[in-house]
Every structure is written in structure tokens, then in C-alpha cells.
Structure 1
Amino acid sequence: MGGDTNLVLLGEIGAAQGLKGEVRVRSYTEEPADIAAYGPLRNEAGTKTIEISHVRVTPKALIARIKGVTTREAAEALNRTKLYVARDALPEAAEDEWYVADLIGLLAVSPDGAPLGTVAAIHNFGAGDIIEVDRTDGGPSMLVAFSDDTVPEIDIAAGRLVLVPPEEIEASEDGDA
């Protein structure tokens, strides 16, 4: 990303749509059409500014018109362009909500404070968020459902979150029986 780690991925341009320069957009914003509300976006390298001038939502895709793009060929040239915005351009998250970009890199600690690893990614394959932690002991990455039970505490300012691995949840439930 051109060395700027303060960028947040908001979406990705897909295939050209029609003959007049429109493109399909995969939006990662809560409401897909809101991607146009963030103002000028940047490509991954930070070398190109992309301004969405109009969006329309169809049953199959979000269709966008990009400022300055008027032909199918120009639209095709943008295919697979990732769309980023500066982190400080995003509104503050509501209480008990976080931007994924703010979670990446946090230290994951056990409930007793022992370091478990570093948050590498947050995934969602359709059934809910999964937190991926690169383990401090060098073992394989840990994938844990992101819930109040498994992540009971997040402290962005302190740079850490408490992670209760599933085996500890099962052990405590077995002990409660």
C-alpha cells in the first residue's frame, strides 16, 4: 500500500458494466452504496485518486460511475483496483464497535494476561467474524469465532485484547456442570 499503513480498504472495482464506463464495485462498507460518501479514494499504491460520482444498487451488484471514466475500455483498465481511504477520514466507531483496521496488530492475551499472539486478520466467510491470531509460540495461526465469549475485552488504546480460546471455554463449561 505504498508504505501508508493508515489506509483502510473500503472496496474493490470489478468488471466493466455496459459501454459508457460504469463499473461493478464490491463495497466493504456497512451499507454498500455508502462507499461513494467517503470522497476521493486511493488505489493500493496511493498513486491514483478515484472519485465515485454516482452509484446505483441493483439486485446483483453495486454499479458505479467513476469521475473521468467514460468508456468501457477505461472501465476495464480499473478492474481489480482496490479502493482505500485514510483511516482518519472514517467516523468514530460507536461504543462496542471497532474498525477491523484498528484490531489488526493488537496483542492478544489470555484472561490471566499471558501473551497468546498478535491479531493478523479478521475474516468473515458468511457465518460470522473469525479472528486470526499469529501465535507467539510460533505454532499455526489460531482461528477463533469473534464473539463476546471469546473476545470479552478490547482495549484499542492499550493495544491489546483478551482472547479466550475455545478449549478454555469448553473447559470452564465442563467445570460448571
Structure 2
Amino acid sequence: MLKKECFYLGKIVSKFSFKGEVLIKLDTDEPEAYTKMESVFVDYNDNLVPFFIEKSSLHKSDLLRAKFEDVDTEEDADDLMRCDIYLPLDQLPELEGDKFYFHEIIGFTAEDVNFGKIGTITGVNDSSYQALFEIDHNGNEILIPVNDDFIKKVDKKNKIILLETPPGLIEIYL
């Protein structure tokens, strides 16, 4: 399994018991949707390694307490600390309406109500507080905040996102 075929689910943040249980900080708004998983991929030494889950339950709000097969001691669990957890893309829940996952809008055409066609979405920068659409406009990069107030329509069938940005925002980049 390759990372590009998966989505990031969370990170192993601590040990929970002397029997090898770990706590996984889930990066999701719906942690309860991931309590019945049978397996996950652990990014171990830059390889996605499958780990089968014997049992799991929510711990506090967004932590998943998990017991992996063949991880039976604190030392075994220590080896997995700070590792990222992934699942295959086909396990992502389907989103309704204008909701979307960042990876699925790459290649969409961005259009603005007033400006017209802006360009092609090449990525989403979510490394800061405000996620940004990265849009290629004839070789120029345009950054537009991923903001519900700006997004007027998401047409998944035709791969178009219709935006209404503040006057002058797009022109700053041109």
C-alpha cells in the first residue's frame, strides 16, 4: 500500500497499559466512526505496515485506545510511539452536499462569481491555521482561503468549485 492510496487518520501518542495498548490521536471530527476498525497501516520506518486490531475503544474525546496483535509489552508499544496511522482512501466516509476532502478536489477548476475561471486547484495548503486553495492560473499561483463563506457550490460531477471571493483578492496575484 502506498501513502498516496491512503489518508492520514492520526498518530500514536502514548502507551496506555503494560500490555502493549496504545493511544492514537485521531484527526477526525467523528472519532466514533473508527472504533470498529479491523486493521490500520502504521508508517514505520517510512513503510506502511499493516497492524491488526484486537480491540479498540474511545478514550476521552478524540483518542482511540487500541490493542494491536503481536504488540504485547510496553517495549513493543515504545517502538510505535509517534508513528502516523493511515487507512485506504476507499474507507473514507462519503460526504454529502458541498463537503469535500482536500485530496479529492485536486484537479478541479476554480471559478469565481465575479472574476470567472481562476484556474486549476493543484493542492490545499493546510499547514497553517487557515487552509488555502492552491490554484494554478496560467503559471501563477493564487492562494484563496478555504472558507465556507467563499464556497458557493461544489460540483463534483463536473469538477468545478464556484467561489465568491472578496473584491481584489484574486487580482493581488496577477
Fold similarity call, TM over 0.5? yes
The one of 117, 120, 124 equivalent to 1:121 is: 124
Counterpart of 1:110 in structure 2 is 112
Alignment-mate amino acid for residue 159 of structure 2: G
How much does 1:157 deviate? 2.5
By how many angstroms is 1:46 displaced?
5.9
Which residue of structure 2 aligns with residue 156 of structure 1? 156
The one of 67, 88, 96 equivalent to 1:86 is 88
Question: What residue number does 1:51 align with?
Answer: 52
Change (3 A) 1:31 1:125: farther
Deviations 1:86-110, CA, capped at 9 Å, x for gaps: 2223332223332333234433222
Normalized per residue, which structure has more strand? 2
In structure 2, stretches of 5+ residues that fail to align are 170-174
Q: Deviations over 1:48-84 (max 9, x none)?
A: 1123321231368443222221111211211232222
Contact 1:110-1:163 at 8 Å conserved across structures:
yes
Percentage identity across aligned positions? 22
Higher helix share goes to which structure? 1
Q: Over aligned residue pairs, what C-alpha RMSD do you find?
A: 3.1
Match of residue 174 from structure 1: none
Aligned partners of 2:30, 2:62: CA distance in 1, in Å? Answer: 15
Asked if residue 12 in structure 1 is aligned to residue 15 in structure 2, the reply is: no
TM-score by length of 2: 0.73
Give TM-score, length-normalised by structure 1.
Answer: 0.72
